[in-house]
Amino acid sequence: MHGAGNDFMVVDDRALTFPLDDAAFVESIAARRTGVGCDGILLIQPSEIADFRMRFINPDGGEVDMCGNGARCIARRAFDLGLAPYEMTIETGAGLVQAAVQGKMIRLELTDPTDLRLGLEAGLEWAVDFVNTGVPHAVAWVVDLQALELPKVGRILREHVLFAPAGTNADFAKVEADGTLSVRTYERGVEAETLACGTGAAAVAVIAAEKGWVNLPVTVHCAGGFDLVIDSVQGRTSLTGGAVTVFEGTVEYGNRV
C-alpha cells in the first residue's frame, strides 16, 4: 500500500507469526531491488484495548512507535478486511489513535505533540525546530527545497548531537506564497528520503502554526507529488490523505506464509 507515496507492506499478523526477531529477513523483503521493497512493514495484530494493534517495523529491522501514513494505510486495510468499523481505534507504541474512513480518504487523529522546542542552536545554516508527533522530528526551514543534497544534509540533521542518542527524523520545509507548506523528509530507520511522511507533515504544520506562519487546516505538499491535510480539532492534530492498495501477495518464511 502507499499513503501519499509513502509505501508499506501491510501484513495480516493476527496469528502473531511474523518473525519480528529476524532483522535479516525484514531487511531482505524490504530491499527495493532484491525484495518486495517498502519504507516499512505494518503488522495488524490483536488488541485488548482497541480494534487492532499496529506494529511498525523499519527496513533495518528496528521497531518504532508510530507512523502517520502507515497508520492511515493499516486503517484502510483493516476496514477492507472487515476487522474494524469505519471509525476505529488503533493501538500503537505511541498510544491509542483514532482513524476514520472517509471515502477514498483516511483521517487519522495523532497523539498530542510533545517536546516542542523552537529556535534550536544547531550550528547549521538553517533555523531548526523540534517536536515529537508520535516519533521525533527536527524541522529545518529552507528557501530552496529542490537544491538540497538531501542524503547528505538529512543525515547531518538526523544524527545531530542535539538529538542523541536515539537520533531524529529530519524534515526540510518551506512556507509557500499561498500559505501552504512543502516538505522533504529524511527518515530515521529508512536512512533515506521518503516520498512522504505523515508525522513529518504534521510536525511541519504544528510548528508553522505555532510560529504564526500558517493557519490550520493547512495543505502540506509531499516530495512524491501528493498532498496531506493537517488540522487541529479540539486540540487534537489530524492527518488526512489517500491510502491505496497497490497489490496483494504472499511471502514465505520457512513453513510460514
With 80 as the cut, is the pLDDT of residue 15 above it? yes
With 80 as the cut, is the pLDDT of residue 181 above it? yes
Residue 88 DSSP code: E
pLDDT of residue 188: 95
Is 67 considered catalytic here? yes
The reported pTM is 0.91
- Catalytic pick among 38, 67, 73, 222: 67
- Catalytic pick among 38, 73, 197, 222: 197
User: Is residue 56 classed exposed, middle or buried when 0-12, 13-18 and 19+ CB atoms within 10 A define those classes?
Assistant: buried
Instruction: Give the pLDDT confidence of 140-157 residue by residue, as tens digits.
Output: 999 999 999 999 999 999
* Domains along the chain with CATH numbers: 2-108 (3.10.310.10), 114-241 (3.10.310.10)
One DSSP character per residue, 159-175 reads T-GGGTTT--EEEEEEE
Instruction: Give the pLDDT confidence of 86-115 residue by residue, as tens digits.
Output: 999 999 999 999 999 999 999 999 988 999
CB atoms within 10 A of CB 120: 17
Contact 52, 84 (CB under 8 A): yes
pLDDT category, 24, cuts 50, 70, 90? very high
For residue 139, the SS3 value is: strand
pLDDT of residue 235: 80
pLDDT category, 257, cuts 50, 70, 90? low
Q: Dihedrals φ, ψ of 105, to 5°? A: -95, 150
Instruction: Give the pLDDT confidence of 29-62 residue by residue, as tens digits.
Output: 999 999 999 999 999 999 999 999 999 999 999 9
Is 197 considered catalytic here? yes
Mean per-residue pLDDT of the chain:
95
Separation between Cα atoms, residue 38 and residue 50, nearest integer Å: 26
* C-alpha 230: how far from chain center: 13
